[in-house]
Amino acid sequence: MKTRVLTATYIVIALVIAFLSRLLTPYIFDILVGALAIMGAVEVGRVFERSRQFNNIYLVGSFAAVLYVGFVFAFTNNWVWQYYLLLILALMLAYFIITFMLTLALKKQTMREISKYQVTDKIVLYALKKAINTSVIVVYPTLLFATLFILNHFNSLSISNQVLGVGFDYYILITVFLVTTMTDTLAMLIGSAIKGPKLCPRISPNKTISGAVGGLFGGVLSAFIVYLLFSINKDFVTVFNSVTSLWTVAAFGVFGSIISQCGDIFASWLKRRARVKDYGTIFPGHGGVMDRVDGLIFNSAFMLIYILILL
């Protein structure tokens, strides 16, 4: 427990520094997200391999960096949101084709892999499956991480005619992080204290219904706390009310918490299928990157979609 608390403290300090750095430039925060995206994708790639879903781990790890370079070009050239979709689809198709062709081109290496893992597929079918698995990891977790890039630059994007400003991107990001964190924290505390019926015993035996309810309460509470802190700025309130209402704050808390917990359960399902306890060991007492951000990236994707619907 001491190691877990100490690691959590370091993580919080790193996040605070990253958020404060946005006062100078948004790109330091991007670097943090990009590093986590690369490590998270590699972790998922390894878990996939444990489940005999082979993929190109090097391409998986590089996708976040390539995508971000494309995003920076898009940010600086004021692309409309349709172009972002085209960029993502083009890169996904390119990575699929590259993975497939590389697997076929590096025939000797591929045959060694097939022999080592006792795969019965022909080389073409093996290459096709490898390309599909690589594409799946491009979506989960890398594209979910990419929503944090977009939220970080939200005010500067040509997504709507609304002039948001006044720290609205800060508000979105802090809400995503705090709702997810409070959901995890209260789910663990209340679940450990009350216990009771299991939520999904076959996937994650430690999760309880009481913990899920506690996490939901934590998500809603934190959403309103963030709003109250930002509402000190009257200009922010004016902008916020021009876009939506307090019902949106409740939705951020309720749906953000539920989706965050769904992301956690999904990540647990992948681990259980691969028969591993954690995605990695980079965070002592917490596991790997994906053990910490599984709910966060789901919540970030939800927040982006929800805001786009509002606007």
- Reading the chain (311 residues) residue by residue, the pLDDT tens digits are 677 778 878 888 988 898 889 888 888 999 999 999 999 999 999 999 998 899 999 999 999 999 999 998 888 888 877 888 899 999 999 999 999 999 999 999 999 989 888 888 899 999 999 999 999 999 999 999 999 998 998 877 755 545 456 578 889 999 999 999 999 999 999 998 998 899 988 888 889 999 999 999 999 999 999 999 998 988 888 877 777 778 889 999 999 999 999 999 999 999 999 999 899 888 887 889 999 999 999 999 999 998 888 77
Distance CA 154, CA 70 (A): 16
Distance CA 164, CA 38 (A): 31
pTM: 0.92
Q: Are residues 34 and 130 in the same domain?
A: yes
Q: Are residues 188 and 125 in the same domain?
A: no
| 8 Å CB contact between 223 and 177 | no
Question: Does residue 129 fall inside a structural domain?
Answer: yes
Q: Are residues 191 and 64 in the same domain?
A: no
Beta-bridge mates of residue 200:
204
Q: Are residues 172 and 310 in the same domain?
A: yes
Question: Does residue 18 fall inside a structural domain?
Answer: no
Of 242, 243, 247, 190, residue with least CA distance to 224: 247
Place of tokens 């019965």: 120
| 8 Å CB contact between 220 and 197 | no
Choose one of 128, 152, 176: the last residue of a domain. 152
Contact residues for 253 (Cβ-Cβ < 8 A; gap 6+): 179, 219, 220, 221, 222, 223, 224
Of 73, 99, 104, residue with least CA distance to 86: 73
Which residue type occupies 77?
N
Question: Does residue 7 fall inside a structural domain?
Answer: no
Q: Are residues 141 and 259 in the same domain?
A: no
| 8 Å CB contact between 141 and 48 | no
Q: Are residues 134 and 182 in the same domain?
A: no
Rama region for 192: left / alpha / beta (φ>0; ψ in -120 to 50; rest): alpha
Q: Are residues 49 and 181 in the same domain?
A: no
Q: Are residues 308 and 183 in the same domain?
A: yes
Choose one of 105, 125, 152: the last residue of a domain. 152
Question: Does residue 145 fall inside a structural domain?
Answer: yes
Question: Does residue 193 fall inside a structural domain?
Answer: yes
Question: Does residue 179 fall inside a structural domain?
Answer: yes
Structure tokens at 231: 């509402």
Q: Are residues 198 and 278 in the same domain?
A: yes
Q: Are residues 194 and 90 in the same domain?
A: no
Choose one of 120, 152, 184: the last residue of a domain. 152
Question: Does residue 12 fall inside a structural domain?
Answer: no
Distance CA 110, CA 123 (A): 8
Show the domain range for 72.
27-152
Q: Are residues 108 and 168 in the same domain?
A: no
Question: Does residue 6 fall inside a structural domain?
Answer: no
Number of structural domains found in the chain:
2
Angle between helices 81-105 and 123-137 (to 10 degrees): 150
Q: Are residues 194 and 110 in the same domain?
A: no
